[in-house]
Amino acid sequence: MPADSLDELNTALLAFARERDWEQFHSPKNLSMALAGECGELLEHFQWLSEQQSNELPPDKKGAVALEMADILIYLIRLAERLDIDLVASARRKLAINQERYPLDKVRGDARRAEEYD
């Protein structure tokens, strides 16, 4: 079944875990730890690269990065499912918060954190 939305992907991931009797291992603690591990694996692909090199990945490296990103997305979706969190709604809420924290007239072209502004 193609998974074109987060809901469809969640359904496919849930079925995959249930078919293998893996839900017993998918506690929020375990999923968050697995997520952190996968983020570390993604970072390894960029370690020691220049900014330019990181923007111009060769196809094989880009493919490996895509698979690490997929692992991250999978664990994040599983974690959201286990905690009954709507990721899309949460992302929209966070975007609204960031729009207030980082008003255009203060932050345009400036990468400082919100706490660093006057």
pLDDT digits (tens, 9 = 90+) for 75-93: 999 999 999 999 999 999 9
Residue 49 lies in a domain: yes
**Rounded to an integer, what distance in angstroms lies between the CA atom of residue 92 and that of residue 28?**
22
Percent of the chain with pLDDT over 90: 83
The answer, yes or no, to whether residue 35 has pLDDT greater than 80, is: yes
Residue 11 lies in a domain: yes
Residue 38 lies in a domain: yes
Nearest Cα residue to 72 out of 109, 17, 35, 30: 35
Q: What contacts 27, CB < 8 A, 6 or more positions away?
A: 82
**Rounded to an integer, what distance in angstroms lies between the CA atom of residue 33 and that of residue 39?**
10
Residue 16 lies in a domain: yes
Residue 100 lies in a domain: no
> CATH number of the domain that 36 lies in?
1.10.287.1080
Mean pLDDT to the nearest integer, 35-51:
98
Q: Which domain holds residue 70?
A: 1-84
Residue 90 lies in a domain: no
Report the number of distinct structural domains present in the chain.
1
pLDDT of residue 4: 77
